[in-house]
Every structure is written in C-alpha cells, then in structure tokens.
Structure 1
Amino acid sequence: MKQKTMFYCTSCGNETAKWAGKCPACGAWNTIVEQPETPRITGAGRGRSAALAAGPRRACPVTELAADEEIRFPTGMGELDRVLGGGAVKGSLVLVGGAPGIGKSTLMLQICSKLCEFSKVLYVSGEESEHQLKLRAKRLHVESGSLFVISETSLGDLLESVTAEKPDILIVDSIQTLYNGALDSPAGSVSQVKDCTMALMQLAKGQGITVFVIGHVNKEGSIAGPKVLEHMVDCVLYFEGDQHTSYRILRAAKNRFGATNEIGVFEMRDEGLAEVENPSKMLLSGRPDDAPGTCVTCVMEGMRPVLAEVQALVVNTSAGNPRRTSNGFDYNRAAMLLAVLEKRGGLKVSACDAYINIIGGLWLDEPAADLATVIALASSYYDRPVPGELVAIGEVGLTGELRTVNQLAQRISEVHRLGFKQCLIPAHRAESLRGPQGLQLIPVRNVGEAIRAALRPQG
C-alpha cells in the first residue's frame, strides 16, 4: 500500500494536499516540501504521552490564581538571566538557536554548574556520546552529582528517561536530532520537529519541568524547521557572532516572560564562555584615534543602552554605477541617508562608492543611529576626523531634519558614564534635557548643522 504524503510550508508549517510554488497561508515562495503524512498515534503511543501529564486539570477562576505563581530562578549567568527577563521560569520551554560551533552547547552545559546547586538536571545529547560530554564538562569545570547526561535521539526513550530520573530541568541538544519512532519521516524533517517540540511542550507544562532546547539555524539565519516552532515555545534566543572572533551576542527574539530584543554579551575563551558586563566598552575597544570615517552612537538593546561605533568609507568610484555596501546596517536605510546627505547636506556622494560597517557584530535597526551614520559618511568624504570624545544620537528625516528618539535621557547617562564629553542631540529636546556635569549637549536642527558641529576645526 502506497504511503500517503502531505505538503508542508517550512516557513509557517501550513499543510496542503498538493505542491504549490507559493504558500497559501503566509505567501512565502518555494517553501513547500513533501513529507510522509503523520499517522494518528493510538494505543501504546498515546498512553505513553498521556502518562507524562499530571492528570486532568480543573479550570479555575482567574481570581483564585496567586500572582506569585511565576517562579524564576537564576541560571548562574547574569547575561543569560538578563535576556530571559530576570532568570528562567519554571515550566517554560526555551529555544536557543545559532549556527553550528557558535557555542550553544557550551552555554547550556556551563549553566549546569549553577543549576545543579539547587535542582536536578538531565542533559540529553543527540550529537555527542556520554564520554564526549564528560570531556567537555571537565574542560568547563562542571562537576556535580545532580547532573545526569545521556546520549539519545529517540523521543520515546527520552520521555522514559525523564519519567525515571524526574529532573527539574531538561536540556535537549538538539531538536533536529530528535525523532519519534511512530513517524516514518527522518529526524530533522518538518513533521518530526513539530511533533517532538509539541511533546516537550506538554512535558514542560504538564510536569512543570523547565526545558531548554537547542536548535540549529539555516542559511537564512532562522531556526531550521517550520516557523511554527518559534510560536510553540515560550522564549526564542539567538546566539550570534562570527566564529573568527571571540565575542558572542545572545539576543531574545521572543519572550513571553520579559522584554524582547534584550541582548547578552559573552566572550569565548579556552575555559568556556565569559560574561561581558560592559558591552559598550568592549565594542569601543581598539577604536582608532583621529581617523576619518568613524562616529559613536548609543542604541537601545532591550532595556540596556549600548554604545556602538559606526564606520564609513567614501571613495571616488571608478565605474558608472557607484557601489553601496552595508554590514550591520539596513541597506535601504543606508541608501536613503546617502540621498539625504547629497540633497540636504550638499555632498556629491552619488559619484562615490560608500561602505558602512558596524563594529562588534551588532545590527543597528533603530533610527537613533542615523545621525552617527551621516556624520561618519561626511567625515570620510571630507577626510576629517570626528572628535574622539563626541557621540551623535538622532533620527534623520527626508528633509534633513533631526527627530528625537525614545529614552534619550537614559542614553545620555550611558554616554557620560563611559567618559565622553560631547553629545549631538536633536535641538527641540535640548530645552527639556539637562546633561550631567562634564557632558556638553550640542543641539542641532538638521544634517548640515550636525556636520558643521562635528567636523569643525578643533582649537
């Protein structure tokens, strides 16, 4: 008998009876893949899943629920606790994604040292043997009798291990290696990832076990598998960074228990990951003195102000079509700022190649970095350096005017804390703000005034 197949969208998880070039649910192109149809689990398979639940639960009025039912506990890493919103939540399902070799497994194994002080941890690896886990734990100085490790890829055997060990915290490395034997599709397929994640979610909610799941990312940078996977979990954390550099950034893309877009910064060392409590200082380290084409700005990463360095290079083009390249900055916004710079600032950048780079692997996606980008471009165009003690904060409009940004007072406090002496801000906010002692606030109304104030001759 021929096995029935279904078609899934790898972007949203929508099921269709036939293939289509465009997903009818989310509109994505070329995301429909064919997978064997998921059989209905009955009998022993259903009983095994039902045994994990704590029994039928009675609905109760919301007024009878205690406000302190959300129990948080520290993970042992302040940067991870910050991204999670103050610590991990009991009974939550956290997905940690990142490229292979970026340090996801190291981070999860490293937090076991603190977690084992007050809880029982079960670490399930589908990529390493128990001996390999032991060697890595020894290198990271993770030694505890409350840490149990097992090398397993079968979902059924994993659930049996949970029933036998009764851990407080479960770590699964990784979701792409886990498979349900009741399905005929291979591990890592759309149906397997959805089914295994659903089983882990029922485990977390039914028994109150905190579950950390490691997931790999595809070439587009998103979690491998259907997009619905990110909707099922409570928190989605992305571990980012260049494998050729030592710094790593942990970013919260989704968090039901805290702020999103929060970041934590780590440094990869021989003995494991070390927290970077002052990311602004790290991102500005090695900044050249009196070099044209660089300017510092302050952006908000969640609730944390972070100072970042914007570098720009403007050179005469040798071709008819000038080249535009941006790294860590939105390409379309960079093109818009170059157009404003030519029309409102009087710089003939249309005849020049322009390159923009954000130091440290940050991605600046808020308008507060517009002013620093414009000043860095102008500095490179005129080949005149920006004073090293100056920071620029503000959004640039199409008419060249400067608009204010949110949480400006908090940004200015961070600028002062790191020892900068001058700060360019939009003029209409200068009257309502009082700068800290030792920090000069320079109000500017448009890009022309900002360029003249930043590149004026220093006496």
Structure 2
Amino acid sequence: MAVNKVKKVFGCSECGTEFPRWQGQCSGCKAWNSISELRVSSSPQVTRNDKLSGFSGMLESKIRKLSEIEIEELPRLDSSFDELNRVLGGGFVAGSAVLIGGNPGAGKSTLLLQVACNLSLNETILYVTGEESLQQVAMRADRLNLPKKKLNILSETSINKICDISNQLRPKLIIIDSIQVMYLDDLTSSPGSISQVRESASALTQYAKKNNVIIIMVGHVTKDGSIAGPKVLEHCIDASIMLDISDDSRFRILRSHKNRFGAINELGIFAMTEKGMKEVRNPSAIFLTNKNNNTEGSVISVLWEGTRSLLIELQALVDTSASSIPKRISVGLDQNRLNLMIAILHKHGNIQIYDQDVYVNVVGGVKVSETSIDLCLILALVSSLKNKSLPENLVVFGEVGLGGEIRPVSYGQERVREAFKHGFDIAMMPKANLQKNKPDGLKIIYVDKIEDALSKLIDIIS
C-alpha cells in the first residue's frame, strides 16, 4: 500500500501566502508573527470531492454577455429578529454564506439557536454543532424556553458528511458552529489549521451557491478582535458580522463589516437576558439612560450608522499632567483623531492643553469611526478644561478640518429629527447643513469656524 507523503510548508494566517520555510514577517501582507507550520499531502491521488466542485451553482463555465444575465429580485428569509434583519440588509438571502464572529460569551450560539428554533416552525433548518454535545444544546434550548420540536440538529465536524446529510434533508438554512472545528476529508492537516479553515469555508460557500441554501458559519476571534484563520476566509463569504460586548455587559452590538446584499457598518443592538437575546428597538435611549446632568466634559452627539441615526454620549476629562509626557487615552474613538482635534484647538482656538492629560470615552461601548464627532469632541475638551457643563438639552455634530473650518455631514436633517425626538431642542451644527424644515421648538446654532463655535459656546455656558 502506497503511503502518502506529507510535506511541511509555512502559511500566513492573515493573507494565506505559503513559504518553504518560517520567517518573521510575511512578504505578502507585511504582517509580523503570522506564519505557522502546515502539513499538506503531496499525494497526486488527493482530489477535491466532485460534490463540492464548481461555484455559484455552475459546474460548466462559459462566456456570456452581461446583458444576457436575467436580473431577479433576491428572495429573503426573515430571521425572526428585526435587528438582525437590519444588519443583514433585510434578512437572509437564499444561497448566501454568512460568517458571524465574536468573543467567547458574546452570545453567538445563543442568538443562532434562537433563530434556528424560531424558523424551524415553518422551514426545514439544520443546526450543526461541532463544539457542544447534543445534550448541551438541548439544555440551552430548554433554559431559553425555545420551540425545539421541529429543529433538526446534528453533531458532526466532517464537511463531506454534512453535505451528504444536507442533500437528503434539503434544509432551507444550515448553521455551522463553528468553522474552526470543521475539516475536509481530502486534507491531511488538523481541524483549525489555516488550510482546513480556508478550504472548509470555501466548500460550504460553494455548496450554498449550488443548492441555494443559506449557510451561517460561526467564527472564533483572535485576541485583537479579528476572525481567527486566514484573511481569505472573509473574502469568500457573502457577509461578515461581528457580535461585540459593550461596556455594560447586558448589551450586545451586532455590526456588519461586509455585506454583498446590504449596507456595511449597519448596527443592531441586543440585550442578553435570562431568556436569551432580546432586541433593543430604541438604542439611543439605552445609551443616554444613565447620563448625569450638569457633568463637565459630557456632550451628546448624533451618529449615522448604516441606515439609522444613533445618539451617543461623549465624555472628556482634561487634567494637569504629573508627567513630562502627557497621556492621550481614547476609548471608542480613534486616538489619531483625538490628537488632530487637540492640535486644531491649539492652532485655531488658541486653547493650549499640551501639558494636560486627556481622556476620552464613548459611553456604551460604541466604536465611532465617522468624522461627525469632531465638533462634539472639541466642545467636550473645552467643557472639561474650563470646568463648565453644557446644557443637557444640547446636541452637537460636525466635521472639523485642519484649517479650523466646520464641514457639513451627511444626513444632517435626519440627525436633527432624531435628537429632537429624544428631547434635545438645541442643536449646534455646520452652517452648510442648513435645515429647510426645522421642527417647531428647535433652536439651531449654525457655525462654520472653530472660533465661531467657541464664542457661541461661551454664550451658552455663561
């Protein structure tokens, strides 16, 4: 009997590039300490399973004119959660592959078990567990009081066997928990290795396209918060969403990082309860519930996340530094953005805080990436430095340029309406975001320069 030869190669977990020997830095993506050893079979008899070949449901490829392609409306499956539907762009799309990641204990398995049990009442659903026993899953379903009578559950880690069973069952949706423990029989490397994770995800994606089945894969995350495994894992799937734990451990933030069928950076808020995940339909009220009145350095702003507006509280603390190198600490906000605003405040506002420790925090664990927070950040810094609190009914938003100009932001009218709905009747915003239909009872302070904003700030707090 011929023995398959096994050779050693080294692969990058970030980009998947392979090398004949180990090296500290990947020459492909320039990442450090991302290369690990792989064992692959060199036998020419090892081939891909024919059942997993092809892509997008087409086994025979041929050239066609783009105008010949028939455009059909994508049918969507309601996930039974409006917040999850929002993040997905309206629900699950038939034939799509979705990757959901998150830290241990975030609630990935709980959320998907709730989705599976709810959908199983009207659809054929297959829940595949590779990490937990069937008894553990059943105990969780009992604890959450979920309808489990019609849910099909399977304990298996072989992709080949899962596909064979699915061909007999013909489910509408398959949940794989998790992709890191799955393996292909054709590969000799162990489950969880770079090659196994990459090929297993690719095989499941191809199966979803060919059979018009929705496949949801659970992914582990590394210590820096990214999906464990090769970077190509996120390229082959259709949607990638992350479930994060907020500073208040009761709440979970679901955010889309990639979505071929909807908007990216869409946000969904859940609360973890004794009965599982519950939707938070008004997240702005949640983030503002514990706001203390008349607090120096606290300012309210309005973000635009995907297709919804979101009110958040930004806190700043400016204190005299006891060190020759002042601290600059930012939580939930890009620290480089903080340094830019400090320099602009010095240059164009004539306010010096170079000898002060600066701490900035976005309440509720929300991570802010858009620039509309700039003006709010500057006012929070000045409020803390001067020990003057701002009115509790004031909301601020606007982008600040390096020249001290205040630039307009998108969806200005929608932001103002959201703030006014929550009782904020004073708004400071860019002059270029002039409101045509201002709500009755709303006072708007238009500014176009940092100097103008600071002078009007003095009028407000005096």
Q: TM-score category by the smaller chain?
A: over 0.9
**In the alignment, which residue of structure 2 is the partner of 1:393?**
397
2: CA distance between counterparts of 1:207 and 1:39? 31
**In the alignment, which residue of structure 1 is the partner of 2:341?**
337
**Is the contact made by 2:84 and 2:91 (CA closer than 8 Å) also made in structure 1?**
yes
Question: Cα gap change, 1:52/1:407 in structure 2, threshold over 3 Å: closer, same or farther?
Answer: closer
What SS does the corresponding residue of 1:360 show, helix, strand or coil?
coil
**In the alignment, which residue of structure 2 is the partner of 1:277?**
281
**In the alignment, which residue of structure 1 is the partner of 2:19?**
16
- Letter matched to residue 267 of structure 1: A
Deviation at 1:246, TM superposition (A): 0.6
2: CA distance between counterparts of 1:79 and 1:13? 34
Q: How does 1:277-356 map to 2 (within 5 A)?
A: 277-356=281-360
Q: Deviations over 1:55-81 (max 9, x none)?
A: 845756655554335211111000000
Alignment gaps of 5+ in structure 1: none
2: CA distance between counterparts of 1:19 and 1:237? 32
2: CA distance between counterparts of 1:395 and 1:162? 51
What SS does the corresponding residue of 1:412 show, helix, strand or coil?
helix
Question: Cα gap change, 1:158/1:428 in structure 2, threshold over 3 Å: closer, same or farther?
Answer: closer
1: CA distance between counterparts of 2:265 and 2:330? 21
**In the alignment, which residue of structure 2 is the partner of 1:85?**
89
Q: How does 1:378-457 map to 2 (within 5 A)?
A: 378-430=382-434, 433-456=436-459
Alignment gaps of 5+ in structure 2: none
**In the alignment, which residue of structure 2 is the partner of 1:148?**
152
What SS does the corresponding residue of 1:379 show, helix, strand or coil?
helix
Q: Deviations over 1:195-227 (max 9, x none)?
A: 111110111011111000000110111100000
- Letter matched to residue 236 of structure 1: S
- Letter matched to residue 366 of structure 1: E
Q: How does 1:196-215 map to 2 (within 5 A)?
A: 196-215=200-219
Share of identical aligned residues, percent? Answer: 38
What SS does the corresponding residue of 2:6 show, helix, strand or coil?
coil
1: CA distance between counterparts of 2:239 and 2:57? 23
Question: Cα gap change, 1:265/1:195 in structure 2, threshold over 3 Å: closer, same or farther?
Answer: same
Deviation at 1:156, TM superposition (A): 2.6
What SS does the corresponding residue of 1:350 show, helix, strand or coil?
coil
Whether 1:25 and 2:28 are equivalent positions in the alignment is yes
Structure 1 stretch displaced more, 88-97 or 5-14: 5-14
**Is the contact made by 1:83 and 1:262 (CA closer than 8 Å) also made in structure 2?**
yes
- Letter matched to residue 113 of structure 1: C
Q: How does 1:28-67 map to 2 (within 5 A)?
A: 28-37=31-40, 42=45, 46-47=49-50, 49=52, 56=59, 62-63=66-67, 65-67=69-71
Structure 1 stretch displaced more, 47-56 or 109-118: 47-56
Whether 1:188 and 2:192 are equivalent positions in the alignment is yes
**Is the contact made by 1:41 and 1:182 (CA closer than 8 Å) also made in structure 2?**
no
- Letter matched to residue 201 of structure 2: T
**Is the contact made by 2:409 and 2:433 (CA closer than 8 Å) also made in structure 1?**
no
**Is the contact made by 1:251 and 1:263 (CA closer than 8 Å) also made in structure 2?**
yes
Deviation at 1:303, TM superposition (A): 1.3
What SS does the corresponding residue of 2:146 show, helix, strand or coil?
coil
**In the alignment, which residue of structure 2 is the partner of 1:127?**
131
Deviation at 1:446, TM superposition (A): 2.1
What SS does the corresponding residue of 1:184 show, helix, strand or coil?
coil
Question: Cα gap change, 1:413/1:457 in structure 2, threshold over 3 Å: closer, same or farther?
Answer: closer
2: CA distance between counterparts of 1:303 and 1:110? 25
**In the alignment, which residue of structure 2 is the partner of 1:104?**
108
2: CA distance between counterparts of 1:457 and 1:395? 20
Q: Deviations over 1:128-163 (max 9, x none)?
A: 111111111122222244311122222233223212
What SS does the corresponding residue of 2:459 show, helix, strand or coil?
coil
2: CA distance between counterparts of 1:63 and 1:75? 33
**Is the contact made by 2:46 and 2:186 (CA closer than 8 Å) also made in structure 1?**
no
Whether 1:158 and 2:169 are equivalent positions in the alignment is no
Structure 1 stretch displaced more, 226-235 or 64-73: 64-73
Question: Cα gap change, 1:40/1:414 in structure 2, threshold over 3 Å: closer, same or farther?
Answer: farther
What SS does the corresponding residue of 2:311 show, helix, strand or coil?
strand
**In the alignment, which residue of structure 2 is the partner of 1:137?**
141
- Letter matched to residue 443 of structure 2: Q
Question: Where has structure 1 moved over 4 Å in runs of 4 or more?
Answer: 38-45, 50-55, 57-66
Whether 1:241 and 2:241 are equivalent positions in the alignment is no
What SS does the corresponding residue of 1:171 show, helix, strand or coil?
strand
2: CA distance between counterparts of 1:43 and 1:13? 21
**In the alignment, which residue of structure 2 is the partner of 1:3?**
6
1: CA distance between counterparts of 2:448 and 2:61? 61
RMSD, aligned CA: 2.3
Question: Cα gap change, 1:389/1:186 in structure 2, threshold over 3 Å: closer, same or farther?
Answer: same
Question: Cα gap change, 1:272/1:25 in structure 2, threshold over 3 Å: closer, same or farther?
Answer: same
Deviation at 1:42, TM superposition (A): 4.8
2: CA distance between counterparts of 1:136 and 1:145? 14
Deviation at 1:370, TM superposition (A): 0.4
Deviation at 1:265, TM superposition (A): 0.5
**In the alignment, which residue of structure 2 is the partner of 1:73?**
77
Question: Cα gap change, 1:408/1:38 in structure 2, threshold over 3 Å: closer, same or farther?
Answer: farther
2: CA distance between counterparts of 1:41 and 1:178? 23
Structure 1 stretch displaced more, 398-407 or 295-304: 398-407
**Is the contact made by 2:398 and 2:429 (CA closer than 8 Å) also made in structure 1?**
yes
2: CA distance between counterparts of 1:144 and 1:387? 51
Deviation at 1:38, TM superposition (A): 5.0
Would you say how many aligned residue pairs link Structure 1 and Structure 2? 458
Q: Deviations over 1:21-43 (max 9, x none)?
A: 33232222322222012556857
- Letter matched to residue 244 of structure 2: E
